[in-house]
Amino acid sequence: MIITRAPVRISFGGGGTDIPGFYEKHGGAVVNITINKYFYSFYNPRDDEKIQMISSDFQSLLSVDDFYSLKFGEGFDIPSAVIKHFRLYHGFDLFTASEIPPGSGLGSSGAVTVNIVLLCSKLKNESLNQRQIAEDAYFIQREILDLPIGKQDEYAAAYGGLNFIEFSEKNISVEPVKINPDVKKSLEKNLLLFFTKKTRQASTILKRQEESIKGNDNSIIEAMVEVKENAYRIKEALEEGNLKRFGSLLNEAWNSKKKMSSGITDEYLDRIYAIAMQNGALGGKIAGAGGGGYFMFYCEEDKQGNLRSTLEAENLGFLDFSFTDKGVTILNNGNSM
């Protein structure tokens, strides 16, 4: 058996500017951190050529006679695409499970793909570094499955930790944010995640953004430039240890992000955000592309009880978490990327 694990992430700023259509012309930048909520894969070889996959998240099963019988559109597109990409011709059983629901805004699709890329590269005796894992995962989703995604989720899951990632036509740089350990602990204590219990397809929102970029929609592009520039300011606030400024920058980021697509927010999400700001939050944002998933709020400890009770009264689910510096990992032989 081989067990692999990849973390999901919280995006602080810059989300959406990691789409090639934008960053190849304007440059992109994101700040994100991985948390201790994971996607797992459990692999067992078989004596025959049959491939069987079970998804705990979707409570579904796919069983085919051999590699050549794998098809898309049967609920297992990402693992099937990775298996095809690496040409795993032998039979095996694959069980997958996540600690957070799909469509949560925490980069789960990127974590899934990165996880299975590491597993398949291990099975093919290919030694891939973090960048290669991230790029393979992106290629599989973007080019093989034709998903309108950016690159930050794949890089976050592959590298792990608190990173500032810059995107350009010629290069992608991953720079760990230089943060004081005590500031990092305070940041961890002051960030709260609440599940809206609304899941969404990020691809729908991202596809609209791509169409707006291709159509040279100046209002959308200007909003994305604002979001990118805000990511630089968020990085500076973290390195300066100015968490109050960080909280207010989250609020600025959210206001800019809402201009990027009509699907990012709605009346319900705006109401929840307003309630949070009235009950102790200094700032916050939807954790991913928008439309649902998790709300992240920055709130100092003395006001967290009030904020949490207020949002739980609105039927939002609180998620306890901590930061992690580890990216995608093979668990049962001690190797980590």
Query: The tokens 């950016």 sit on which residue?
Result: 150
What type of residue is 116? I
Annotated catalytic residue, options 18, 57, 136, 153 = 153
Radius of gyration of the chain (CA): 20
Measured distance CA(183)–CA(247) in Å, rounded: 13
Phi, psi dihedral angles at 80 (to 5 degrees): -65, -40
User: Smallest Cα–Cα separation from 1: which of 333, 334, 336?
Assistant: 333
Between 130-139 and 108-123, two packed helices, what is the crossing angle to 10 degrees?
A: 110
Measured distance CA(56)–CA(130) in Å, rounded: 27
Measured distance CA(116)–CA(137) in Å, rounded: 9
Cβ neighbors of 124 (< 8 A, separation 6 or more) are 86, 87, 88
Measured distance CA(169)–CA(24) in Å, rounded: 4
What DSSP string runs through 9-35? EEEEE-TTTTSHHHHHHH-EEEEEEEE
DSSP single-letter state for residue 65: S
> Which residues share a beta bridge with 297?
192, 284
Measured distance CA(19)–CA(15) in Å, rounded: 9
Query: Would residue 153 show up in a list of annotated catalytic residues for this protein?
Result: yes
- Give the H or E element holding residue 207: helix 202-214
Measured distance CA(33)–CA(322) in Å, rounded: 10
Between 108-123 and 152-159, two packed helices, what is the crossing angle to 10 degrees?
A: 60
| Active-site annotation, residues | 153
